[in-house]
Amino acid sequence: MSSADGSTRCTQILAAIRGEVNKMLVGQEHLLDSLLIALMTGGHILLEGVPGLAKTTAVRALAAALGLDTRRISFTPDLLPADVTGGLTYNHKEGTFTPRKGPVFTHLLIADEINRAPAKVQSALLEAMQERQVTLGDTTYALPEPFLVMATQNPIEQEGTYPLPEAQTDRFMLKCVVKHPGREDERRIMNGNTRPETVAAPAPTCCVTSEDIALLRRTAGEVHCDAKVDDYILDLVFATRNPTLFKGLESLEGAIQLGASPRASICLKLAARATALLRGRTYATPQDVKDVAHDVLRHRLLLTYEAEAENLTPDSVIDRLLTEVPVP
C-alpha cells in the first residue's frame, strides 16, 4: 500500500471511529482528538477535569468502537499494588505458587481518580506503562498490545489525595484538561439523558480491526517531519530549561524550577505526527506542534514558589513559549 493510499485509508478509519464514539460523546472534540493521538502513538493519557465531564464515558466509547478489552480500577486510599498488577496465590494441595494476573492485563486500562491512591499503588503502574510488562514473583509477563493507560483525576478536591510524583506524570504522554461543554452541546446531553426509557440510546459498536489499528500506528510513524520542525520542537523544550537563551523569555528566568525532560521532545514529535494524520496530511507542520504543546508540556513543568505567587501557571508559561520562540 502506497503512502497516499495508507493515509486515505487512515482517514476513513478515523472517521468511522469518530462516528461510533460520538454516539455516546457529545462535543469534547479536543478530548476525542487526544484519545486518538494516544491510540496512534501508543502513549498514555491523563485526563484532568471535574466530575461529570464524560472522561470515563469517552474512554469506554473508544474501547467499544475499537473492539478492545477494557478494565476500570477505582483508585482509593486502601488500594494495594496487588489489586492492580496481581500477585502469586499459594496452592496448598500442590505446594506451589500460581500467578494471578490483575486488571492491568488489558488493552485499555481506566485508572479512575488515580491521585486518590498512595504512592506505592501509583508506582505499581510504572513498569507496565514504560516496559509494557508486569513482574509477578520471578516471572515477567508481557501485556497485550495495544496497551494504554487512561487515567483521570479531579483538580478541585485536594483533601485525601496523593499528587502524582514527577516520575509518574512524565510517563503520561499527554495531560488533557477537560472543560465544560458549550450551551448547545449541554442541551444535547441533557435531552439525550432524559429521553423516555422506551427510546434506546445508540451504543458504539466495533468498527475497526486489529489490522486497522496497526495501520494507524504504522502510518502515524511514517508521517514526514522536516528537520526545521525538529529544531522547533527542540527549541520549545530547551526554552523550558533555559529561557534566557531566547529573546523575550528572560522574565521566565527563575520561574521554572524543572523544565521538560527528553521524553517531552519524543512525545512532541510523535503527537505532532499523529495530529497531522488526524488532519489528513502526510507531513507535520509547526502548527501541529503548537496544537499539542500544552497537552505534552503542562505536566512536565514544575514552577517555583515565586512564580505561583505571581499567578503563573504551566499553561501561561507555555503560551509565552509559543509566542516568543521563533517559528520556522
Q: For position 306, which CATH number holds? A: 1.10.8.80
- Residues 48-85: pLDDT tens digits? 888 878 888 888 889 889 988 889 998 888 888 888 88
Which of the two residues, 243 and 168, has the higher pLDDT score? 243
pLDDT range class, residue 263, cuts 50, 70, 90: very high
- Distance from C-alpha of 204 to C-alpha of 22, rounded to nearest angstrom: 8
Query: What is the secondary structure of 162-222 as a DSSP string?
Result: -PPPHHHHTTEEEEEE--PPPHHHHHHHHHHTSS-TTSPPP-------HHHHHHHHHHHHT
Amino acid at 255: A
Q: Identify whether residues 174 and 282 lie together within a single domain.
A: no
Asked whether the beta carbons of 64 and 203 are under 8 A apart, the reply is yes
Asked whether the beta carbons of 273 and 284 are under 8 A apart, the reply is yes
Q: Average pLDDT of the chain?
A: 87
Asked whether the beta carbons of 173 and 45 are under 8 A apart, the reply is yes
C-alpha cell at 278: 488526524
Q: Identify whether residues 206 and 241 lie together within a single domain.
A: no
Q: Identify whether residues 156 and 303 lie together within a single domain.
A: no
Q: Identify whether residues 47 and 136 lie together within a single domain.
A: yes
C-alpha cell at 76: 482509593
CA 23 to chain centre: 21
Mean pLDDT of 174-191: 88
Q: Identify whether residues 73 and 203 lie together within a single domain.
A: yes
Asked whether the beta carbons of 312 and 190 are under 8 A apart, the reply is no
- For the entire predicted model, the pTM comes to 0.89
Question: Which of 217, 246, 274 is the endpoint of a domain?
Answer: 217
Residue 134 host element (H or E):
strand 133-136
- Distance from C-alpha of 84 to C-alpha of 105, rounded to nearest angstrom: 9
Q: Identify whether residues 304 and 184 lie together within a single domain.
A: no
Q: Identify whether residues 239 and 314 lie together within a single domain.
A: yes
Q: How many residues are there in the chain?
A: 328
- To the nearest whole percent, how much of the chain has pLDDT over 90? 34
Q: Which position has the grid cell 468511522?
A: 16
Q: Identify whether residues 84 and 159 lie together within a single domain.
A: yes
Strands 70-74 and 108-112: parallel
Q: Identify whether residues 202 and 302 lie together within a single domain.
A: no
- Distance from C-alpha of 16 to C-alpha of 12, rounded to nearest angstrom: 6
Q: Identify whether residues 93 and 188 lie together within a single domain.
A: yes
- To the nearest whole percent, how much of the chain has pLDDT over 70? 95
Residue 144 CA: distances (Å) to CA of 17, 30, 68, 109: 21, 27, 10, 11
- Residues 10-37: pLDDT tens digits? 989 999 999 898 888 888 889 999 999 9
Least confident of 157-166, 267-276, 297-306: 157-166
Q: For position 16, which CATH number holds? A: 3.40.50.300
pLDDT exceeds cutoff 90 at 135: no
Domain range for 48 is: 3-217
Number of domains in the chain: 2
pLDDT range class, residue 5, cuts 50, 70, 90: low
Q: What is the greatest pairwise CA distance in the chain? A: 72
Q: Identify whether residues 131 and 239 lie together within a single domain.
A: no
- If DSSP codes are grouped into helix, strand and coil, which group holds residue 151? strand
Residue 71 host element (H or E):
strand 70-74
pLDDT exceeds cutoff 70 at 252: yes
Q: CA nearest 277: which of 191, 215, 328, 184?
A: 215
Q: Identify whether residues 9 and 67 lie together within a single domain.
A: yes
- Distance from C-alpha of 172 to C-alpha of 167, rounded to nearest angstrom: 10
Backbone angles phi and psi of 193, in degrees to 5? -100, 5
Question: Which of 217, 239, 258 is the endpoint of a domain?
Answer: 217
Query: What is the secondary structure of 76-105 as a DSSP string?
Result: -TT--THHHHEEEEEETTTTEEEEEE-TTS
Question: Which of 217, 238, 262 is the endpoint of a domain?
Answer: 217
